[in-house]
Amino acid sequence: VQLVESGGGSVQAGGSLRLACVVSGHPRSRYCLGWFRQVPGKEREGVAATVTAGGSIDYADSVKGRFTISQDNAKNTLYLQMNSLKPEDTAMYYCAAAPCASSGFLLRDWKYDYWGQGTQVTVS
């Protein structure tokens, strides 16, 4: 399974960005897909996650109402629409995937087996 993120960049507070993650190499089975972020010196934080073919969606409290996770199955792409960005959203953002036996703990990084290389988001 390979994941390639794009869409990061620098934006002023209050602005928007849309991250994309192309997921390839996974069989057409139920997968958990998530977005995580990490700031140097801090633990990786689950931001938003979902399950392929519909189902559960979960968001960190810090992004509820501002971020939206979605997927385009035809393009094998996971998105993270980020609105009303704040300086504290500055981080490296990663997408992650794993075979999904259950939809519990979607925002826990230990649940995921495959990770992208990350894309930097900077909000000033």
- Asked if 21 contacts 3 with a C-beta cutoff of 8 angstroms, the reply is yes
List, for residues 12-66, the tens digit of each pLDDT value: 999 999 999 999 987 667 889 999 999 999 999 999 999 987 678 999 999 999 9
Give the pLDDT score at 69: 97
- Name the β-bridge partners of 78: 21, 71
Give the pLDDT score at 27: 65
Q: For Cα atoms 6, 36, 122, give the angle at the middle one, nearest 5 degrees.
A: 55
List, for residues 64-106, the tens digit of each pLDDT value: 999 999 999 889 999 999 999 999 999 999 999 999 888 889 9
Say how many C-beta atoms besides its own lie within 10 A of residue 40's C-beta. 6
- Asked if 80 contacts 48 with a C-beta cutoff of 8 angstroms, the reply is yes
